[in-house]
Amino acid sequence: MLPVIALVGRPNVGKSTLFNRLTRSRDALVADLPGLTRDRKYGEGRVGDCDYIVIDTGGISGDEAGIDQRMAEQSLLAIDEADIVLFLVDGRAGLNPADEMIANHLRRHNKECWLVVNKTDGLDPDMAVADFYALGIGQPLAIAAAHGRGVSNLIDEVLAPFVPDEDELAAEKVRKHDDSIRIAIIGRPNVGKSTLVNRMLGEDRVVVYDEAGTTRDSIYIPYERDGQKYTLIDTAGVRRRKHITEAVEKFSIVKTLQAIKDANVVISVIDASEGVTEQDLSMMGFVIDAGRALVVALNKWDGMSSDQRADVKVQVERRLEFASFARFHFISALHGSGVGDLYGSVNEAFDCAMAKWSTNQLTRLLEDVVADHQPPAINNRRIKLRYAHQGGSNPPIIVVHGNQTAALPGSYKRYLENRFIRYLKVRGTPIRFEFKTSD
Ligand code: GDP
Ligand code: GDP
């Protein structure tokens, strides 16, 4: 499972700056917490072989009342979700009473906690950290988040216990290559995930096995349908509830991100009666960044007027253009309409995500594409594309070799990519192209 790093500290110490440095996703996911003005941000990143999730807790100042109190509680909840807490302080401002209050909070939490002294650019690192030993959190580490100084060392050090060893990597490989399609059901609270999970498992043709091991919070449910094995990754925790009415804390962004990583195909559930929201978009952005196959279910299609339906279809066209590789389904999880059809798209997306193409086949395709439309010349020398091979699956990666490929214009890359996608009939999964110069 991905390690989760929470950034805590009083406002203005540099949490957002560090967050941006540690994450590479195009969007941060913002927890939608009603009534709170400042929310937690979630992002994803990678150092070396280690992927991780980062949470920016938004800030605790130590002496909150009212709304601040509730915000601080949310920050402390984020700490509960984390494996590692980075407690940031400001090396320029020196030790602050609010830092001491936060240190007290953290000591009660009993979490793996690192004290990080930020803004040490232009300061002597030993001098800058000296004051902060007094917090009793251990050896302070000096960084300058704004300049990136000390950041990769910091991350290497805190992630060291989480780097998977060879046995774990081997076990992971076996698990990933069992013959079941792993489907994650994701979406904002109340979009109908639990209803959909129950529907998908409740169908006649479905044989549900005993629950497999549970991880952090999502539940893995193996089953079989029409001779195909599936494992449903249930982020809504349906099977955890003893009674259907029992409210458990159902929605967690950490859980969602973990499930996306661990799935082959993601079903992104949107509440069509509310339209497409920002949070829907950023969750789908994460699915694409992770390279996962995607099926979109616009739920609650029942009970919508034809005007509302037309409006949602326009929104889908305008706002979900970036996910146009995916199949869209208009369903009612409540009544079951359209639910069975999801499987056709899930299977297709999985098959495309796992497809294997020979170097021969890809190279011949490349030759055709180039013959129809040559790449331009750069400095009087024509860019040559020589051969292509497959570099991975789920997502499929196509590696194109040639000379001067770094100079290939974006428009040409798009032409080539579109042709490949069309001829290889790739549907339902993002596909990545890498261009390498090999002369
Ligand atoms: P947050 O409120 O904890 O999220 O803090 P921000 O990330 O918004 O940073 C607060 C201010 O500190 C901004 O003006 C940043 O540019 C500045 N800052 C952040 N990191 C550094 C650093 O490493 N060095 C210096 N000199 N300033 C920094
Ligand atoms: P979750 O938080 O995403 O797991 O959402 P739930 O499955 O708990 O559903 C939230 C609410 O939406 C419940 O009241 C459901 O009965 C309702 N709901 C779910 N699917 C549909 C649907 O297809 N149509 C309608 N009208 N309501 C639905």
236 CB near ligand 2 (under 6 Å): yes
Residue 125, preceding peptide bond in cis (omega within 30° of 0): no
Instruction: Judge whether residue 245 has pLDDT over 50.
Output: no
Question: Ligand 1 site: residues with CB under 6 angstroms?
Answer: 9, 11-17, 59, 118-119, 121, 144-147
Burial (Cβ within 10 Å: 0-12, 13-18, ≥19) of residue 284: buried
352 CB near ligand 2 (under 6 Å): no
Instruction: Judge whether residue 82 has pLDDT over 50.
Output: yes
- Cα(12) to ligand 2 centroid in Å equals 40
192 CB near ligand 2 (under 6 Å): yes
- Cα(5) to ligand 2 centroid in Å equals 32
337 CB near ligand 2 (under 6 Å): no
Atom of ligand 1 nearest to the CA of 147: 23
Closest protein CA for atom 16 of ligand 2: 334
Q: Minimum mean pLDDT among 163-172, 198-207, 313-322, 395-404: which range?
A: 163-172
pLDDT digits 0-9 by tens, 302-354: 989 999 999 999 999 999 999 999 999 999 999 999 999 999 999 999 999 99
300 CB near ligand 2 (under 6 Å): yes
User: Tokens standing for 152?
Assistant: 């990769």
Binding-site entries for GTP: 9-16, 56-60, 118-121, 187-194, 234-238, 299-302
In the prediction, which pLDDT does 27 show?
A: 58
198 CB near ligand 2 (under 6 Å): no
Amino acid at 435: F
Which among 90, 91, 106 has a CA at the least distance from the CA of 57? 106
Q: What is the DSSP string of 111-172?
A: -EEEEEEE--TTS-HHHHHHGGGGGSS-S-EE-BTTTTBTHHHHHHHHHGGGS--HHHHHHH
ipTM: 0.83
Q: Minimum mean pLDDT among 29-33, 121-125, 409-413: which range?
A: 29-33
* 154 backbone dihedrals φ, ψ, rounded to 5°: -60, -50
As a whole number, mean pLDDT of residues 410-438 equals: 95
As a whole number, mean pLDDT of residues 273-295 equals: 93
- Cα(192) to ligand 2 centroid in Å equals 4
In the chain, % of residues over pLDDT 90:
58
In the prediction, which pLDDT does 68 show?
A: 60
In the prediction, which pLDDT does 338 show?
A: 96
- Cα(189) to ligand 2 centroid in Å equals 9
Give the C-alpha distances (Å, rounded to integers) separating 162 from 1, 5, 156, 158, 375. 9, 11, 10, 8, 45
As a whole number, mean pLDDT of residues 292-300 equals: 98
